[in-house]
């Protein structure tokens, strides 16, 4: 009895201590740091869950407040329903204007059901600023580069997907009402959440004419009966009612448009490209992104997050656009894409039209075609993440999803079949996967995949142009003149101008300037030893350079009417940044 009393007293004492310390078991001194993870973040975020619009807004605001020298939060416009579209500028503001550094653009969630792109984009911002002090690589990266991050470019539909009944696959569009069948109605005979669980799943009923039976390995799943085998069930589609009294269920869904068929490059109308809206950039959210990109010509690389399938996509979206991707540009894409395959297991580097299908008016092609920006679109949540298996048929993949739900999620992703008295079909059963699976990552996979995809965008940002004035040589000439030769190198693989940029002169040339008022001639050298080059007669002190190639260099030469010229050289490139050096 005495031992029990002591134990109770000890427990009570411990509880008082713990209460007084307010769970100090998680203070930094008591945590063993895991490699590659912020040890003591100022902004604590759980990356194993999803955040609605207000949640994303709050995280953005906390980051901006916690790191005013690294984060700027702004709105780039309003959504159709009036929500602000947030953009984060991430850079070391103490080492130069973000606008003057090469920039990486990242966005997510253009489709309402492709939600994890927002978390992946925001994880990138969080990871960069939380590691700035402790990680030298991150610190130098933000000193040299800028990140523009828009977590969601479809905030209305994101909230609708999360807070309203939906399937995992719909809706994909924004919230602009659309009567695409011309009957004067925009809220039509669509699926309904009959059992009021927040998910729209499937209906089935027992029928001797059915072609499905229960899977003997998993009774939650239906499989097709063999030709000589009697069926037990028929599938009736998504749960829903005959709302318009025409005797049919779910046959006339609301109008649909695809925000990723709305961009102003190779845009085609709806009768050619399903999902296209009225005209290029007729969707207000896309228009806001377009205006933001046009205001930031320093963007040299981009990533747009989608789901799903585990793909690292680049354009062209359609075969007709092959000429917008030159051999030189493709070499850059291939180097980056192969690196991505290495660090994101189960993801495959692919070309949209060649490996998937043709798509017109996509964001991917607008960024590259209209802006000359090296752009990828990652399709998140690879089936490989389930059991590390590739090459499965669609039936095998569906079985794997059921096995994964059963073995690792303990059926948390499935609404078990329950009876329902349907006014049209009679006795039915309702059940199926919830809207948060299988397109969206389960929580325990979310952070790992966010980190791997983040690492790819960080690597791409690292490979944006990095310009160096490597040397300046002088040579005395007659009559008091001096010859000045400068070498400017780009030490990363991405050039200051893509071939598409050069072809259409999207951005101005790069400038290399000698800060000496007595410059009388200037040329861009093709062969320095033989003094072969292109003379620039107008403004010879500021030479216009079409491009500084990746892992390459350019040489320029001036003739200066001075025996002791000012050997201060400046380089000014929209996508390559600025650099200045005196010799």
Nearest Cα to Cα of residue 88 among 102, 101, 75, 100 = 75
The answer to whether residues 452 and 419 belong to one domain is no
Tell me what the pLDDT averaged over the chain comes to.
Answer: 92
Mean pLDDT of 240-248: 81
Question: Which structural domain range is residue 491 located in?
Answer: 467-582
Write out pLDDT tens, residues 351-393.
Answer: 999 999 999 999 999 999 999 999 999 999 998 899 988 788 8
Lowest mean pLDDT among 2-16, 111-125, 206-220, 312-326: 2-16
d(CA 47, CA 445): 10
Q: Are 431 and 414 in contact (CB under 8 A)?
A: yes
563 assigned to some structural domain: yes
Distance of CA 526 to CAs 130, 287, 487, 497, 534, Å? 45, 42, 12, 18, 8
- Do 149 and 266 sit in the same domain of this protein? yes
Domain-embedded: residue 492: yes
Is the CB of residue 64 less than 8 Å from the CB of residue 58?
A: no
Is the domain of 510 the same as that of 476?
yes
Digit-coded pLDDT (tens) for 397-406? 999 999 999 9
The continuous run of DSSP H or E covering 6 comes out as helix 2-21
pLDDT above 90 as % of the chain: 82
Q: How many angstroms separate the CA atoms of 189 and 245, rounded?
A: 9
Same domain, 269 and 249: no
Q: Which of 112, 457, 85 is nearest to 256 (CA)?
A: 112
Cβ atoms of residues 546 and 512 within 8 Å:
no
pLDDT at 15 over 70: no
- As a whole number, mean pLDDT of residues 449-469 equals 98
Do 302 and 380 fall into the same domain? yes
pLDDT tens-digit profile of 390-399?
Answer: 788 888 899 9
pLDDT at 1 over 50: no
- With 0-12 / 13-18 / 19 or more C-beta atoms within 10 angstroms meaning exposed / middle / buried, residue 384 is middle
Instruction: Check pLDDT > 60 for residue 8.
Output: no
CATH number of the domain at 545, please. Answer: 2.60.40
Q: Please name the residue ranges forming H helices in 145-236.
A: 155-163
- 379 and 272 in a common domain: yes
Assign 17 a pLDDT band (cuts: 50, 70, 90): very low
**Contact, 275 vs 261, CB < 8 A?**
yes
Residues 245 and 255: their CA atoms lie apart, in Å, by 19
Most confident option among 189-198, 210-219, 441-450: 441-450
Instruction: Output the 3-class SS for 79-143.
Output: CCCCCEEEEEEECCHHHCCHHHCCEEEEEECCCCCCCHHHHHHHHHHHHHHHCCCCCHHHHHHHH
Query: pLDDT tens digits for 505-524?
Result: 999 999 999 999 999 999 99
User: Does residue 10 have a pLDDT over 80?
Assistant: no
Q: Which residues contact 40 (CB under 8 A, 6 or more apart)?
A: 28
R_g (Cα) of the chain, nearest Å:
29
Please tell me the predicted confidence (pLDDT) of residue 425. Answer: 93
Q: Where are the alpha helices (DSSP H) in 250-350?
A: 284-294, 327-343
Provide mean pLDDT across the span 99-115: 97
247 within a domain of the structure (yes/no): yes
Same domain? 320 vs 421: no
Strand 374-380 with 299-307, pairing? parallel
pTM reported for the whole predicted model? 0.93
Same-domain check for residues 151 and 186: no
The position carrying tokens 């905030």 is 155
The arithmetic mean of pLDDT across residues 122-137, rounded, is: 97
Q: Provide, rounded to the nearest whole percent, the portion of the chain with pLDDT above 70.
A: 93
Instruction: Please report which helix (H) or strand (E) contains residue 533, including its range.
Output: strand 532-535
Examine residue 89 and state whether it is found in any structural domain, yes or no.
Answer: yes
Nearest to 428 by CA among 195, 246, 217: 195
DSSP code at position 172: -
Same domain for 566 and 417: no
Asked if residue 143 and residue 228 are part of one domain, the reply reads: no
Residue 529 lies in a domain: yes
Contact 196, 169 (CB under 8 A): no
Confirm whether 390 is domain-assigned: no
Q: How many domains does the structure of the chain reveal?
A: 3
Tokens of 23: 């769970």
pLDDT interval class at 248 (50, 70, 90) = confident
Stronger pLDDT, 17 or 338, i.e. the higher one = 338
CA distances (Å), origin 559, targets 171, 439, 489, 555, 567 = 65, 63, 21, 14, 12
How many CB atoms sit inside 10 A of residue 156's CB?
21
pLDDT class of 26 with cuts at 50, 70, 90: low
What would the pLDDT profile of 55-81 be if each residue is shown by its tens digit?
999 999 999 999 999 999 999 999 999
Say if 168 falls within a structural domain: no
The larger pLDDT score, comparing residue 301 to residue 25, is at 301
| H or E stretch at 11 | helix 2-21
Given this model, what pLDDT does residue 249 score? 86
pLDDT reading at 18 higher than 50: no
Q: How confident is the model at residue 2 (pLDDT cuts 50, 70, 90)?
A: very low
User: Using CB atoms within 10 A of its CB, is residue 273 exposed (0-12), middle (13-18) or buried (19+)?
Assistant: buried
Nearest to 90 by CA among 103, 62, 71: 71
Residues 272 and 363 in one domain: yes
Handedness of CA 97, 56, 299, 117 (dihedral sign): positive
Which pLDDT does position 276 carry in this prediction? 94
User: With bands split at pLDDT 50, 70 and 90, how would you rate the model's confidence at 468?
Assistant: very high
The torsion defined by the Cα of 112, 116, 119 and 123, in degrees rounded to 10, comes to: -140
Residue 22 is assigned to a structural domain of this protein? no
Amino acid 14: pLDDT: 47
Whether the bond between 495 and the residue before it is cis, its omega within 30 degrees of 0, is: no
Specify the CATH number for the domain of residue 69: 3.40.630.10
Spell out the residues 6+ positions from residue 216 whose beta carbon is closer than 8 angstroms to its own.
none
How far apart, in Å, are the Cα atoms of 581 and each of 189, 515, 516, 539, 567?
68, 10, 13, 20, 8
Higher per-residue pLDDT: 8 or 493: 493
Instruction: Judge if 520 and 554 occupy the same domain.
Output: yes
Q: Count of CB atoms within 10 A of residue 232's CB?
A: 16
């Amino acid at each position: 009895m005495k031992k029990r009393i002591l134990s109770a007293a000890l427990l009570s004492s411990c509880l008082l201590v713990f209460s007084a310390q307010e769970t100090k078991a998680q203070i930094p001194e008591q945590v063993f740091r895991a490699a590659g993870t912020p040890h003591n973040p100022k902004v604590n975020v759980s990356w194993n869950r999803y955040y609605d619009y207000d949640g994303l807004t709050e995280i953005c605001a906390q980051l901006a407040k916690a790191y005013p020298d690294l984060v700027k939060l702004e709105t780039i416009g309003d959504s159709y329903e009036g929500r602000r579209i947030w953009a984060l500028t991430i850079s070391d503001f103490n080492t130069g204007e973000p606008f003057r550094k090469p920039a990486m653009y990242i966005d997510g969630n253009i489709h309402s059901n492709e939600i994890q792109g927002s978390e992946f984009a925001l994880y990138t911002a969080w990871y960069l600023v939380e590691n700035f002090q402790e990680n030298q690589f991150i610190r130098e990266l933000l000193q040299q580069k800028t990140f523009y991050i828009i977590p969601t470019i479809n905030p209305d539909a994101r909230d609708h997907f999360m807070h309203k009944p939906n399937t995992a696959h719909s809706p994909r569009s924004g919230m602009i009402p659309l009567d695409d069948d011309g009957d004067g109605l925009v809220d039509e005979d669509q699926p309904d959440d009959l059992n009021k669980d927040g998910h729209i799943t499937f209906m089935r009923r027992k029928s001797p004419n059915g072609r499905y039976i229960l899977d003997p390995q998993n009774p939650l799943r239906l499989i097709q009966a063999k030709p000589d085998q009697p069926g037990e069930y028929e599938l009736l589609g998504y749960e829903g009612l005959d709302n318009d009294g025409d005797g049919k269920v779910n046959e006339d869904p609301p109008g649909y448009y695809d925000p990723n068929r709305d961009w102003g490059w190779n845009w085609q109308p709806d009768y050619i490209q399903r999902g296209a809206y009225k005209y290029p950039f007729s969707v207000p959210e896309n228009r806001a992104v377009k205006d933001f990109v046009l205001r930031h010509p320093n963007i040299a690389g981009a990533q747009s997050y989608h789901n799903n399938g585990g793909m690292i996509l680049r354009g062209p979206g359609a075969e007709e656009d092959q000429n917008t991707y030159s051999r030189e540009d493709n070499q850059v894409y291939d180097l980056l894409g192969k690196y991505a395959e290495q660090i994101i297991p189960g993801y495959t580097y692919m070309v949209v039209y060649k490996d998937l299908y043709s798509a017109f008016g996509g964001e991917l092609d607008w960024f590259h075609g209209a802006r000359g920006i090296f752009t990828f679109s990652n399709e998140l949540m690879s089936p490989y993440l389930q059991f590390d298996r590739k090459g499965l048929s669609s039936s095998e993949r569906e079985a794997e999803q059921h096995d994964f739900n059963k073995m690792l999620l303990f059926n948390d992703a499935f609404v078990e079949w329950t009876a329902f008295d349907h006014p049209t079909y009679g006795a039915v059963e309702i059940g199926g996967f919830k809207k948060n699976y299988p397109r969206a990552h389960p929580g325990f996979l979310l952070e790992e995949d966010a980190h791997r995809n983040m690492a790819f965008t960080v690597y791409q940002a690292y490979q944006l142009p990095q310009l160096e004035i490597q040397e300046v040589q002088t040579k005395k000439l007659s009559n008091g003149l001096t010859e000045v030769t400068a070498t400017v190198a780009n030490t990363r693989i991405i050039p200051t101008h893509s071939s598409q940029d050069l072809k259409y002169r999207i951005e101005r040339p790069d400038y290399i300037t000698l800060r000496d008022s007595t410059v009388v001639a200037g040329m861009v050298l093709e062969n320095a030893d033989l003094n072969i080059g292109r003379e620039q007669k107008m403004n010879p002190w500021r030479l216009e350079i079409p491009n500084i190639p990746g892992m390459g260099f350019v040489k320029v030469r001036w003739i200066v009417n001075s025996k002791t010229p000012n050997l201060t050289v400046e380089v000014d490139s929209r996508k390559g940044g600025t650099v200045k050096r005196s010799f």
